[in-house]
Amino acid sequence: MSSVRNLEPQALWNAFADLNAVPRPSKKEEKVRQFMLDFGHKLGLETLGDAIGNVIIKKPATAGMEGRNTVIMQSHLDMVHQKNESTVFDFDNEGINMRADGDWVMAEGTTLGADNGIGVASIMALLASKDIAHPALEALFTIDEETGMTGAKELDSSLLQGKILLNLDTEDDDELSIGCAGGIDTNTTYHYREKSIQLGWQVLKIKLRGLLGGHSGMDIDKGRGNANKWMARILKELHNEIPMQLISFDGGSLRNAIPREATCRIAVADSAKASDILEHSIKQLSDEYRTIEPEHRFEIENVVSSGDALSDEDCTKILNVLCSVHNGVFRMSPEIAQLVEASTSLARVRIQEGVFSTQSLQRSSVESTKAEVCMAVRAAFENIGATVEQAGDYPGWQPNRNSSILKVMENIYVNLFKEEPKVKACHAGLECGILGKHLPEVEMISFGPNIRAAHSPDEKVQISSVQKYWSFLIDTLKNIPNKN
């Protein structure tokens, strides 16, 4: 730990070490919340907690900066707790063990908590500083970002008066983020009629494995295979050629991940003929995706029949909806090059014991196109009589390329580093989208140092990048525009 505390800037790294000594899993932020309240009180600063558990610490402007706009400095207190299988560690009661290795800081067999601990530590260093020029600051420490964004959703915005918000929660030091996607979950249920498997028919089990998968927001534009869509396609093509009964289907796992695997069972009169048709469909898929999905594999085997199958009518309905429902990029942004504006991912499909259910996630940085893609998915399932529930809605952060703080920060970046920053928006969720609903007149920018492998025991943060980011942050605060 001492090696980390000796790194520059020492104020930031010491704050990070103090923070990482406090357990702070999502939904268990009591200890870190009290730590932050005590921190503010010890500094003699106005320190508040809202009803949901966010902490707000206010610091007056330094001399000569009173006429500048108040800045909200925002990061989240919680961290993802993951460890290697061989690591013995109690996240509820132990602090993170850190070490410096070359130009990187990492943890011993666990997540580091640089996401979003470096942002929190930066704000702590600013609040404690006596020699850094800055306008009036409102430090906003939110809770439960990683598992629900509860703090952002339930924020008491009446406690804040700032006009500019700096979110310190991105992971590439050459980027300024100005937008992100919102999202909504669509869950569907359909009760199908069952019938006995035809006497004498053979049951085949089909497995699909080895697709790349990935984040259904950040990776949705990479053209990767969706196991549920692939399985539905080969089943539909088989169903078009020969009589077939669908017995079960189980594909995907997490609602926000592109599904990598799927398994189904079918009954056919002639398994040899069915296998030939399936192999033809599989070869077509393999040819289409040979450069993207080289590691995928299908396995087809004869198994002992069990359970009932879907009625012929329901089998047709279900295969039709699985093949027709949109999956992937829905619309590209007309304003930001290479940014996915709206998408949908068919994440989970299950057919068993009379129930056909699906889970999908729709994302968009624009509320109107999020509504459109949700409507498209809803309509597909309602056409077969399925019950559709859409919930967990959180707003996107629509990019504003013309914001005044963006122009200020672009100029500072060029002056400091002699190159243009990458101004980006991402197709994943950030707290800024939600905070923007509470603070509609506030301009927002998200930035941070280089962090790699966040959410895994391989997480690390680059020391030289933290130094670069810190100098950029300090210069930004010195150049905040005057109040109107």
Q: Catalytic amino acids?
A: 78, 145
Residue 340 forms beta bridges with which residues? 332
Whether the CB-CB separation of 259 and 249 falls below 8 Å is answered with no
3-state secondary structure string across the chain: CHHHHCCCCHHHHHHHHHHHCCCCECCCCHHHHHHHHHHHHHCCCEEEECCCCCEEEEECCCCCCCCECCEEEEEECCECCCECCCCCCCCCCCCCCEEEECCEEEECCECCCHHHHHHHHHHHHHHHCCCCCCCCEEEEEECCCCCCCHHHHCCCHHHCCCCEEEECCCCCCCEEEEEECEEEEEEEEEECCEECCCCCCEEEEEEEECCCCEECCCCHHHCCCCHHHHHHHHHHHHHHHCCEEEEEEEECCCCCEECCCEEEEEEECCHHHHHHHHHHHHHHHHHHCCCCCCCCEEEEEEECCCCCEECHHHHHHHHHHHHHCCCEEEEECCCCCCCEEEEEEEEEEEEECCEEEEEEEEEECCHHHHHHHHHHHHHHHHCCCCEEEEEEEECCECCCCCCHHHHHHHHHHHHHHCCCCEEEEECCCCHHHHHHHHCCCCEEEECCCCEECCCCCCCEEEHHHHHHHHHHHHHHHHCCCECC
C-alpha closest to that of 11 among 119, 128, 148: 128
| Radius of gyration (C-alpha) of the chain in whole angstroms | 26
**Residue entry with tokens 């950029």:** 472
Whether the CB-CB separation of 140 and 56 falls below 8 Å is answered with yes
